[in-house]
A and B are shown apart, each in its own frame.
Chain A
Amino acid sequence: MSDTALRAPFPERAGAALKDTFLQEALTIATTKFIDLRRESFAGFPQGEALRDQARAIKEATLQRLDAHLERLADNVERLGGVVHWATTADEAREIVLRLARERGVRMAVKSKSMATEEIDLNEALEHAGVTAVETDLGEYIIQLAHEKPSHIIAPAIHKTKGQVAELFSRELRGEFPADPEVLTAVARKALREKFLQADMGITGANFAVADTGTVVLVTNEGNGRMVTSLPRIHVALMGIEKVIPSMSDLVVFLAILARSATGQKLSSYTTLVRGPRRAGELEGPQEFHLILLDNGRSRQIASTLREALYCLRCGACLNVCPVYRQIGGHAYGHTYPGPIGILLTAMLKGNESVRELAHASSLCGACKDVCPVRIDIPRMLVELREHLDREKIAPWSERVVFRAFRRLLMSETAFRVSARAGRLLQKPFVRQGRLRGLPLLLGRWTRTRDLPPVASRTFRERWKDLR
């Protein structure tokens, strides 16, 4: 989506997405598949429900002593010869990486998929500083070539059809490639293998970090996570502070449900546990390991109504089932993190004002809460967000006036009855074949595409005396 398109108000962006037939097709295929895979996986996994409860409890327990766990993590990483950096803001995090790159003479960095690095716009900063940053996750590689942002938390290029990818590769890599995922994957494998072997720095996120042992954990499928943490001489891991967990015993609880929730796999192809830089007897591995702990608005949520959003494992399951995401895709949301959890994360990272429209991009159906591996009550928090928008007067005053008036109507049986009668009168010009059509103003938004039932000629309470 172009920058000007992104500045359009959310309903316009959503409208554009609805008209994009390529996108609609891609979204339907992808989200349906993800849903089926997840369902199948949990259907054959009776322990799953108890594990989800346990995972949620671990996240909550960790938050209750977050500082202590982070301290232990840092001590252990340093004991192993790693360096820990503390980044309160996105700016600081970027600076840390750039300084490292500068001081170590880094010319090329290879990246494993990391939403945290997207969040802080790291790639742009690196490019500006003259460092080539190569995305190596296939989906990220595709969108990097296309100069786009990811549209899904775990499948960044899901909005692209194979035809579009073939066209993109043919153009950017100067070749003639068919719309065949096997061929296109092989093309990427070849192009990126060289980069892995030549890069000076590997940059990753972290799915988890184990405080007890100083271990950073990466959950991946392609092998690029292993490449970037073993081949270049420096490894930098950027991690949101909420990713820390206490022990290895906790880790396996999450491993048991994360891949299932994300892709329906029992485990992803690779789970990589990184304990600092390479040890003395190792032939391979980075000489330097840097862990950047990122706050960027997270700590402020610990004591707020959005606290539960800090449990998020970034699995993407909520996106796949969301009726809104399934219709408009990730780009229309206009922020790094899309979908139901994305609205909460955006509020967390950029403040409530940033989600004045997005907070209403939900029918509150609850499908997200159903599939969240750590049972985050997203609908409840969306309603809380809406409450904040009202309380902080971010919601438009015209809307607040309407709702206040509505409350007055509901507090009085007389007012309610009179309004119904008034409605019966006012609707007369709009009744067609027993239905309301072509209504003006706000209700016109309904009748553009749907009929409305008219106010009944006798309401229930008017009929009650005959029923009594």
Chain B
Amino acid sequence: MITCLGDVFFPEVGVAMVRLLRRLGVELDFPEAQTCCGMPLFNSGYHHDAAEVAARTVKLFERAEHVVVPSGSCAWMVKAEYPGLLKHDPALRAAAESLARRTRELSQFIVEVLGVTRIESSFAGKVTYHDSCHLLRGLGESSSPRALLRGVPGVELVELPGADQCCGFGGSFSVRLPEVSSAILEKKLGNVEATGARCLVACDAGCLMQMGGGLTRRASRVKAVHLAQVLAGEVEA
């Protein structure tokens, strides 16, 4: 599941993920009719609409043994919210529960399903990691991404102070309350730059859009990248 933001704005992340997983021996398919998990609709309260998108998505991935998502929030949406959204139709609900079981965020897939934590990558340098809210609190995941980063021989992982604090994206929040969103972002980027890292790593396109957008706007030397890009050695200089 590539995600809507991933498809349109960060295709390089999807490409890195594909190359990485193939290198790890995984056979991949991309159901081309996919669009979005529907979370933006859900979070803004448009649940009827979100349920329609969920029903469509559930059918698209019926035959996949595993569904891998390079985004904590989208994986969370599928695993935590799809069954509830589709609870009024027993068949769809069962399908949603099945999909929820088969879906994992990328780092969780690599560590839990493939059992891999050490990946050789051409990437080298100091990085710092931001815990996306839905990956951290929704899926309870903070160790797999760090384990994978530490497992790359050339990577030095520096803990980000306040790593577990929100970056201020929050979906439509970022444009409904842009000043508050930006103030939250400022705090985050202050911490990021203080680490002296070359790259800020995250597992969520929304966070990367927000933090990356802030970093380039202030002409920072820090680059915001996705975990997949680091592991696949596909970070642009």
Contact = CB atoms under 8 A, between A and B. Distances in A.
A binds B: yes
A194 to B, nearest CB: 44
Interface stretch (A269-277, A280-288, A337-345, A408-416): A408-416
B32 interface: yes
Given A403-B46, A407-B49, A456 B36 contact: no
Q: Which of A395, A399, A445 has the most CB of B within 10 A?
A: A445
A387 B47 contact: yes
B188 to A, nearest CB: 9
Contacts of B173: 360, 362-364
Contacts of B180: 14, 18, 324, 327-328, 361
A463 B42 contact: no
Contact of A364 (B30, B133, B212): B133
Contacts of A366: 133-134, 137-138
Interface string B160-180: 000011101111111111111
A451 interface: yes
B29 to A, nearest CB: 9
B216 A435 contact: yes
Interface stretch (B6-14, B115-123, B149-157): B6-14
A451 B213 contact: yes
Contact of B214 (A369, A385, A390, A449): A449
Contacts of A290: none
A456 B8 CA distance: 6
A15 B174 CA distance: 14
B166 A461 contact: no
Contact of A363 (B30, B38, B169, B217): B169
B166 A363 contact: yes
A61 interface: no
B181 interface: yes
A365 B133 contact: yes
B183 A327 contact: yes
Interface string A451-468: 111111011111110011
Given A367-B166, A453-B10, A410 B4 contact: yes
Contacts of A327: 180, 183-184
Contact of B32 (A365, A448, A453, A464): A464
B45 interface: yes
A370 interface: yes
Contacts of A388: 45
A450 interface: yes
Interface string B196-226: 0000000000000110111011000000000
Contacts of A413: 32-35
Nearest to A15: B179
A403 B49 contact: yes
B70 to A, nearest CB: 10
Contacts of A384: 45
Interface string A319-357: 000011001100000000000000000000000000000
Given A404-B49, A406-B40, A413-B35, A363 B181 contact: yes
A468 B31 CA distance: 12
Contact of B8 (A360, A370, A400, A459): A459
A86 interface: no
Interface string B37-81: 010111111110110110010000000000000000000000000
A386 interface: yes
Contacts of B168: 323, 363
A442 interface: yes
Nearest to B31: A413
Contacts of B30: 460-461, 464, 468
B181 to A, nearest CB: 7
A425 interface: no
Contacts of B10: 453, 456
Contacts of A370: 137
A30 interface: no
A367 B164 CA distance: 9
A411 B8 contact: no
A298 B73 CA distance: 33
Contacts of A455: 8-9
A399 B40 CA distance: 13
A443 interface: yes
A423 interface: yes
A364 B170 contact: yes
A460 B182 contact: no
A460 B19 CA distance: 13
Contacts of A461: 2, 7, 30, 32
A22 interface: no
A383 interface: yes
A449 B182 contact: yes
Given A366-B138, A456-B9, A463-B11, A410 B166 contact: no
Nearest to B80: A380
Given A18-B183, A364-B133, A386 B52 contact: no
B15 interface: yes
B185 interface: yes
Contacts of B182: 448-450
Contacts of A416: 4, 35-36
A389 interface: yes
A359 B185 CA distance: 20
Given A403-B44, A407-B46, 13 more contacts: A15-B179, A386-B45, A387-B47, A400-B46, A407-B49, A410-B56, A411-B35, A445-B178, A449-B182, A450-B210, A451-B212, A452-B209, A459-B11
24 contacts: A14-B177, A14-B180, A18-B179, A323-B168, A361-B180, A363-B181, A363-B184, A364-B171, A365-B166, A386-B44, A388-B45, A399-B44, A404-B49, A411-B52, A411-B53, A413-B34, A445-B175, A449-B178, A450-B210, A454-B9, A456-B11, A459-B8, A460-B7, A468-B30
Interface of A: 11, 14-15, 18, 323-324, 327-328, 359-367, 369-370, 383-391, 395, 399-400, 403-404, 406-407, 409-413, 416, 420, 423, 435, 442-443, 445-446, 448-456, 458-464, 467-468
Closest 6 CB pairs of A and B: A363-B170, A386-B45, A450-B213, A365-B166, A366-B137, A407-B49
